[in-house]
Amino acid sequence: MQATLSSSTLTGTSASGRGSFDNLYLHDFARLAVGVPVCKVADPAYNAEQTALLLQQAASEGAAVVAFPELGLSSYTSDDLFHQRALLDGCEAALAHLLTVSRELPTIAIVGMPLRVEHRLFNCAVAFQRGRLLAVWPKTYLPNYGEFYEARQFNAADEALSTEIVLLGQQVLFGTRLVVAAEDFPLLRLHVEICEDVWTPIPPSSYAALAGATVLVNLSASNVTVGKAGYRHQLVAQQSARCLSAYVYTSAGAGESSTDLAWDGQAMIYENGSLLSEAERFVRRAQLLLADVDLERLSRERMRQTSFGDSVRHHAPLLKEFRTVSTPLGLDLQAPLALCRRVERFPYVPSDRTRRDDRCNEVFSIQVQALVQRLVSSGIHKLVVGISGGLDSTHALLVAARAMDLMGWPRSHILGVTMPGFATSTRTRDQAMRLMAAIGCEAREIDIRPSCQQMLADLGHPYAKGEAVYDVTFENVQAGERTSHLFRLANHTGALVLGTGDLSELALGWCTYGVGDHMSHYNVNASVPKTLIQYLVRWVAETEQLGPQGKTVLLDILGTEISPELVPQDGTSASGLQSTEAHIGPYELQDFNLFYTIRQGCSPAKIAFLARHAWGDRHQGDWPDGEHVRRNEYTLPEIKRVLRIFVQRFFKGSQFKRSCVPNAPKVGSGGSLSPRGDWRAPSDSEASVWLADLARIPD
């Protein structure tokens, strides 16, 4: 019986409207569980009762899978008692009891026990569900060094001749190359290995992942020694990352014999290198660990990373030996089941202060290094930057200043130019001048209103005749005049025009195409989203890299409403400025939408599900610290409204602007929209399928 991959296995079907929008399984998440019971040595009946309690609890919590420790029915430390018939019979009786308990439960359970096969003893993991045995995996690698003497009692998996066994009157597949697949949740494909297996150069789960397994389970006992817990984390994190999988790790806890060893009950669940959940160590009570794993993400990463497919091709003969056991989960998809998972409100900005500062430092360093290389390779040592007094140009100027410092060139090699137009406020003009003074660059002011007035007159625009017509032409004339001046200044002074537009603006098409803020000689901000730029500027301010006066102006800039300042006061915001976010939606939501679109490839419905989890209640979850943080919350209808703006602008109306962007460094794994980098898309695509999916979101 060989494993096969159907189209539904590759794409998933659970988000097709077969249940409640509020059920995590409808969005291709699967709840996984680890049970760490308190055991008694060589007491299978007691151990089965403790296991049954955790199994029932896992099922009541909506878990699809629950795993228990290695040799958990007997206890790992039974030593030569494993050769006693009474203990082995007791373990089979314990398994029979668990099968009875499981008859009405949809959860797939995996327990560890010794099994007699072909007159030999194997250390095994047994999977069962609804009273049916699904598969038995024997341990591949038996440690026989240090404190371990498993080869004294057990045989390794490759010594077995049988590929099927009869256990408790049921015929069940036996071997290491087995995958359990959920018929009604095709992205859930399960493989099990045991303890030492993951400590080897090529764990059995590596091949299982290539054969299609998305959830890898390790039943471990693993006594504790100093430093071992950290090493287990490294092993599991790296295996889940290399295999693009979820990895569920169990470990024996209280109750195992302390004759010569100690036990900490460490258990953890990882997804693609990221820790989702971890049990408390050294406790004398049973624990049930839960985590919701994004199986669609894992499937998509395997499709995206072509090296994974290359590995499948290289090992195809071995992978064809894998056998698949199918079983329906039969989960209740009509009932709401909330997500049990941390979803960052700001996916580009860590909420933890230390990690956030490290992120800011690294992003800033990447931008500076890239700009320095462009200056060196071009042989040009001067920059021209348009300074608006807003966030993006501020950050670009900070990067330019650091680049000059790194090269040992004077900051006077930077020509900062503020260019007031018809709607420039006194505040932003003042901030621009104060910023340039704090930086120490050359500062100029060019009033673009006369040249804009002339162009509007040449065009026959109503504004030139005194009419208050503030249309797109009116706005773009100003944006174009600013960019035209910058390029001619660069020609005149032997400099490069440094672009300032950010990733969020590119995603939403919020830039003036061609001769406008769309164009520059080089752009350091093009893959940095707006929410991260806010924290980059704040990081420079709070670390006082520009001194006390520089800190003050940077904080003033951060407190200014985001506006293109192209239309005179129109009452669209409390300040009277033309509000960007009033038009295109809050950047904090749009950056959330952007991340889950270009980095995760999620459908609009799934993005809305995640956004409500992250943004639906301001009192839940972690926030970046500081009084400046606006602790907003959004209802699902508001999330849907903003997401519709994103979908229409991103997929339908803006790609032509991204197809010809200037050179810019890729900064983060959240993506770049350069056609030479992460994102290649047709400029004339439709948004129909995304809008159709958006319609599945309740109003």
- Where in the sequence numbering do the catalytic residues fall? 70, 139, 195
Coil, strand or helix at 555:
helix
77-to-157, 218, 232, 266 alpha-carbon distances in Å: 20, 18, 20, 17
In the numeric block, the tokens 């409390």 are attached to 574
Q: How far apart are CA 352 and CA 370, in angstroms?
A: 27
Strands 178-182 and 189-194: antiparallel
| Sign of the alpha-carbon torsion through 231, 232, 234, 239 | positive
**What does the block give as tokens for 489?**
């200044």
What are the backbone angles phi and psi of residue 555, rounded to the nearest 5°? Answer: -65, -35
Q: How far apart are CA 12 and CA 394, in angstroms?
A: 45
Cβ proximity of 694 and 605 under 8 Å: yes
First to last CA, the chain: 47
Alpha helices in 379-499, H assignment, sequence order:
391-407, 426-439, 449-459, 472-493
**What does the block give as tokens for 197?**
């297996």
Amino acid sitting at position 255: G
Give how far the C-alpha of residue 333 lies from the chain's centroid of Cα atoms, to the nearest Å: 25
**What does the block give as tokens for 300?**
């998509």
**Of how many residues is the chain composed?**
699
Cβ proximity of 358 and 537 under 8 Å: no
Q: How far apart are CA 33 and CA 515, in angstroms?
A: 56
Q: How far apart are CA 598 and CA 671, in angstroms?
A: 6
Cβ proximity of 149 and 261 under 8 Å: no
DSSP 697: S
Coil, strand or helix at 612:
helix
If one counts every other C-beta atom within 10 angstroms of the C-beta of residue 569, the result is 12
Helix-then-strand count for the chain, H and E = 23, 20
| Sign of the alpha-carbon torsion through 238, 243, 248, 251 | negative
Burial degree of 11 (CB within 10 A; 0-12, 13-18, 19+)? middle
**What does the block give as tokens for 304?**
């995206």
If one counts every other C-beta atom within 10 angstroms of the C-beta of residue 12, the result is 18
| Sign of the alpha-carbon torsion through 510, 513, 515, 519 | positive
Burial degree of 472 (CB within 10 A; 0-12, 13-18, 19+)? exposed
Q: How far apart are CA 630 and CA 618, in angstroms?
A: 10
The contacts found for 675-678 with CB under 8 angstroms, 24 or more apart, are 677/527, 678/598
Taking only Cα atoms into account, the Rg of the chain, rounded to an integer number of angstroms, comes to: 30
